[in-house]
Structure 1
Amino acid sequence: MIIGFSLRLAVSAGALCAAGLMVLMPAAAADTGRAQPTAPPAGPKAAAPLPSLLHRPGVQVRPRAGVPHLPKVSALSWLVADARTGEVLAAHNAHRRLPPASTLKTLFALTVLPSLPAGVRHTVRAEELRGIGAGSSLVGVAEGRTYRVDDLWRGVFLNSGNDAVHVLAELNGGWQATAQRMQAKARSLGAFDTRVVSPDGYDAPGQVSSAYDLALFGRTGLRNPDFARYCATVEARFPGAGGSYAIRNTNRLLSGAHGVEPYRGMIGIKNGYTSKAGNTLVAAARRDGRTLVVTVMNPQEGGSSAVYEEARTLLDWGFRSAGRVEAVGSLGAPRPAARAATTAPAVVAAVSQEPGSAWTSAVLIAGAAGTGAAVVVLVLRIPVRRKSRN
């Protein structure tokens, strides 16, 4: 009968499997018994990172001995951070959601700059200038006039021109599409306090951001050479009737105006004002190889220059205190957890990168056993046929 042959074959396959295991097991045993390099003495363990304090209300700072006292700041929310590392040195109501005014243009630039080449020329149409809010800051974009995209960006960064924002948004797919893309960009950066309604930062119901988010936008923007160049420009020429005219950056810490002394090392970024938001500012400065970014939202004391003077005092404190305080948090989205391997090949590939390990031998043994078992199963499933009797 053929069944006799099948059983003998199955037994032989099982024996082969067992033989394979016997061959591999000594290698595994020898491998585990092999002398391993002596591990170096354990040094002092790195201190676990301190928990973030940024969601707590009020002033948050972790000073070491000898650190200067924080200055008095009347803003509803503020934050000062190291632009390179993202470490937040101190903050006050960092995640409080407030109207951002034109500081929201930082997110607009992060979203739109990569999609519009600077040298593209565009003739403005009337419909592109519709819907600009009453009392908006303007750079003087005119219907029927042709502009380069980089002209419009200078209008955005220097004059905070809502007219330039409207034209760029139309080139980017439209007002609502741009708002949606800005919202998606904010989420991708880990800025969860921001809700975009009007891409130019004009007061709109429900539109908010935070000192944390704005500092994050500013820090991210500085990594883009075009963003960094525009936000640091003090003066430029803007196309107009019969030629061009001068425009000057309205960030008083950068350009100096209305009695505000320019800040040494100021890089720029973006200021803003609306009746609902008050004065807002996200700024960065560099001194002695260190770059700090600061956000100040809606000072409650002083006039229109208070936002700049409060930012100045925070930057001064930050440069004196950097390296002498423990971070109270960090700018940036948390990294998603790595996905666990779900297939055997992935596990084997990962293990095989460590030749000579006991785990390698274990995987090989398991593979041999699995292969033998599979052979047995296949053999036993061969159809059984009886010889016909003569």
Structure 2
Amino acid sequence: MKFKIKNLFIYIFVLMYILTSSISYSSTVFAEPDENEVQADDNSDIESDEDEDEDEDDEDSDLEDSESNDETENTNSKTTDVSNESNSLWPEGPKIKGKTAIVIDAESGAILYEKKKDKQMYPASITKILTCLLTLENCDMKDNVTMSHFAVYNLRYGDAHIGLKEGETISVEDCLYALMLASANEVAYGLSEHIGGSVEGFAEMMNNKAKEVGALNSHFVNPNGLPDENHYTTAYDMAMITKAALKYDQFSKIVGTKMHVIGKTKMTNEKRYTNNFHRMLYEDNKEYYQGIIGGKTGYTEESGNTLVTIAERDGRKLICVVLKSKKIYEDTKDLLDFGFEKFKSVTIDESTITSPTGMCYNKLAQALGKGIMTVSYPNGNYLTVPANADENDITYEIALKDENTTDSTKPTTTNETASTTKPTEKADSPSTPPVATVTYYYDNKEVGSIDISYKVTASPKEGNDDKGGFFKNITKKKTVNFFSSSIMKAIRLLGLILGITLLILIILAIRIAHINKVNRKRKEERRRKRLEIRERERREQEESYRRDREHRTNRDNHMR
């Protein structure tokens, strides 16, 4: 078979067209939603079904009976928006079994992965993270907590506990270890009564704290997560609550402890040993995870398995929340690996992403009527972006703080020269009130934010207190080096096309070599067969001649 050069080029162009036209440049961190699952608004979208199989339709719970067709259409439209993102630079996340999940950076707050992060679900014992947070805020570790009759006897059969007795007293520190390691439900009740006066009073504190930390789609009615149709949360909300708890070093210490011993009390001479239920902490366990800090487990029939996990690698700390999963540890491992491997940190300082590019602090001061000032923001803040991200693709948005709040603060005047600006000075005193918030974005997703603060260094100059002009478009999102970014994208696309072309040429060359080899074998086979036929004909002819000679010889002998 002869392969013409003309045909080669035709095949190359056809294959290039097919491949390049079918390439999708969109990727998303959102897992594929269950098409058969309908999400309701407000409180009606909590799942209480026991069937956790992703491949089967979910049965509607009593809380979902009030869903309307309009709500279904709204949910489907949201799903469409998520799955149809185009030209996304965000890496695609793993497929997981969990109904909802989220991974955030504990420092920057950037959402690295989400699957139905705002879907309301039953949390089970991960509720105790919020109980722990309120305890750390309101109690001294040496305070004592006495167990009431309600705390000890208001448990169902099989509920986790450490066997405390009515009237028994232990320290707040021991309570927190029992709460977070052994998931002791009587301890949760005891702490709620100690702090809030009653379970109802403590639940109100829980809901107020949840709103304060940004958990706006949750509602709590008890301190331990025992089943109640009015007790629910979301993956995002639990991440925010955990992020707030991580501000306390004691929280990380407690959730990372494998075993804690509670000593003797006035009512028992026996020590109580509390072991951490989180399997990722144990090196000899197959679920062990390198870099694990700790977390909290949860399970009820209504909630299924729930898990909150905090891990740190190379100075980056991630929070992972997975709700209602049959493969809770596999999901968590896959999500944490995704967060650590596919993302990087970019420090906000003068050498990288500065605060913010192109903004004149002196003009900001003049516009506020404060004169020349030193603008500062906390050092150490960083953004979390995909590992292959180009910093030129990062955008930002500036939002001014409430002017009345700014004016109500009287900053201290210093003797610094008017021309001095220090954008990296740490703002850590009441004399440096925040004047604006800069929120950074990558691929239209928030990757971090900072508060800009200031110190007055000179009096306002005449004619410089005009608040117009500079602020007309200050809250509009700006794109950094768009032209440079577009060139880089074009270069990457060209490189992709050239790579595909080279691959096609290699494949075609291999194909041609294979065809030529086959053709040579076929020719050799045909030649061999022809030679065999000729040899056989020659032998047959010789045999015929021999027989004729013998026949003539025999005839002659007979005649004699």
Report if TM-score (shorter chain) is over 0.5. yes
Of 461, 471, 480 in structure 2, the residue corresponding to residue 356 of structure 1 is 461
Counterpart of 1:203 in structure 2 is 227
Counterpart of 1:70 in structure 2 is 93
CA shift at 1:136, angstroms?
1.6
Counterpart of 1:338 in structure 2 is 401
CA shift at 1:243, angstroms?
3.1
CA distance in 2, matches of 1:63, 1:250: 39
Aligned to 2:298, what secondary structure does the other structure show?
Answer: strand
CA, structure 1 residues 346+151, in 2 after alignment: closer, same or farther (shift >3 Å)?
A: closer
Is 2:218–2:234's contact at 8 Å kept on the other side of the alignment?
A: yes
Of 326, 329, 332 in structure 2, the residue corresponding to residue 311 of structure 1 is 332
Is 1:354–1:360's contact at 8 Å kept on the other side of the alignment?
A: no
Aligned to 1:282, what secondary structure does the other structure show?
Answer: strand
CA shift at 1:246, angstroms?
2.0
What are the within-5 Å matches in structure 2 for residues 1-390 of structure 1? Answer: 56-57=78-79, 64=89, 67=91, 69-172=92-195, 173-239=197-263, 241-255=268-282, 260-299=286-325, 302=326, 306-323=327-344, 325=386, 338-341=401-404, 354-359=459-464
1:248-289 per-residue CA deviation (whole Å, 9 max, x = no partner) reads: 1001112368x5431111011211001100000111100111
CA distance in 2, matches of 1:320, 1:344: 45
CA distance in 1, matches of 2:152, 2:270: 21
Q: Match of 1:269, as an amino acid? A: G
Is 1:57–1:93's contact at 8 Å kept on the other side of the alignment?
A: no
Is 1:99–1:209's contact at 8 Å kept on the other side of the alignment?
A: yes
Aligned to 2:271, what secondary structure does the other structure show?
Answer: strand
CA shift at 1:64, angstroms?
3.8
CA distance in 2, matches of 1:74, 1:53: 13
TM-score of the superposed pair, with normalisation by structure 2? 0.48
CA distance in 1, matches of 2:271, 2:142: 17
CA shift at 1:57, angstroms?
4.3
Counterpart of 1:22 in structure 2 is none
1:312-362 per-residue CA deviation (whole Å, 9 max, x = no partner) reads: 1110111101125299xxxxxxx9973334999999x99996532314699
Is 1:218–1:283's contact at 8 Å kept on the other side of the alignment?
A: no
CA distance in 2, matches of 1:261, 1:135: 25
Aligned to 1:86, what secondary structure does the other structure show?
Answer: coil
CA, structure 1 residues 270+228, in 2 after alignment: closer, same or farther (shift >3 Å)?
A: same
CA, structure 1 residues 345+222, in 2 after alignment: closer, same or farther (shift >3 Å)?
A: closer
Is 2:145–2:191's contact at 8 Å kept on the other side of the alignment?
A: no
Is 2:296–2:308's contact at 8 Å kept on the other side of the alignment?
A: yes
Is 2:127–2:225's contact at 8 Å kept on the other side of the alignment?
A: yes
CA shift at 1:121, angstroms?
2.6
CA distance in 2, matches of 1:188, 1:278: 28
CA distance in 2, matches of 1:199, 1:238: 21
Is 2:299–2:305's contact at 8 Å kept on the other side of the alignment?
A: yes
CA distance in 1, matches of 2:226, 2:466: 66
CA, structure 1 residues 138+255, in 2 after alignment: closer, same or farther (shift >3 Å)?
A: farther
CA distance in 1, matches of 2:407, 2:165: 64
1:4-35 per-residue CA deviation (whole Å, 9 max, x = no partner) reads: xxxxxxxxxxxxxxxxxxxxxxxxxxxxxxxx
CA shift at 1:232, angstroms?
1.2
Aligned to 1:243, what secondary structure does the other structure show?
Answer: coil
Higher RCO (C-alpha under 8 Å, 6+ residues apart): 1
1:137-158 per-residue CA deviation (whole Å, 9 max, x = no partner) reads: 1122222333111111100000
Counterpart of 1:3 in structure 2 is none
| Structure 1, unpaired ranges of 5+ | 1-51, 328-334, 363-390
Aligned to 2:210, what secondary structure does the other structure show?
Answer: helix
Q: Match of 2:462, as an amino acid? A: S
Is 1:133–1:202's contact at 8 Å kept on the other side of the alignment?
A: no
Is 2:287–2:329's contact at 8 Å kept on the other side of the alignment?
A: no
Moved more, 350-359 or 268-277: 350-359
Is 2:151–2:187's contact at 8 Å kept on the other side of the alignment?
A: no
Aligned to 1:194, what secondary structure does the other structure show?
Answer: coil
Aligned positions, number: 295
CA shift at 1:70, angstroms?
2.5
Is 2:182–2:277's contact at 8 Å kept on the other side of the alignment?
A: yes
Q: Match of 1:249, as an amino acid? A: N
CA, structure 1 residues 352+266, in 2 after alignment: closer, same or farther (shift >3 Å)?
A: closer
CA distance in 1, matches of 2:406, 2:238: 42
Is 1:211–1:296's contact at 8 Å kept on the other side of the alignment?
A: yes
CA, structure 1 residues 298+226, in 2 after alignment: closer, same or farther (shift >3 Å)?
A: same
**Identity across aligned pairs (percent)?**
27
Q: Match of 1:340, as an amino acid? A: E
CA, structure 1 residues 57+213, in 2 after alignment: closer, same or farther (shift >3 Å)?
A: farther
1:177-220 per-residue CA deviation (whole Å, 9 max, x = no partner) reads: 00000000001111111111122111101211011001111111
Aligned to 1:159, what secondary structure does the other structure show?
Answer: coil
CA distance in 2, matches of 1:148, 1:343: 43
Task: Tell me how large the CA RMSD over aligned residues is.
Answer: 3.6
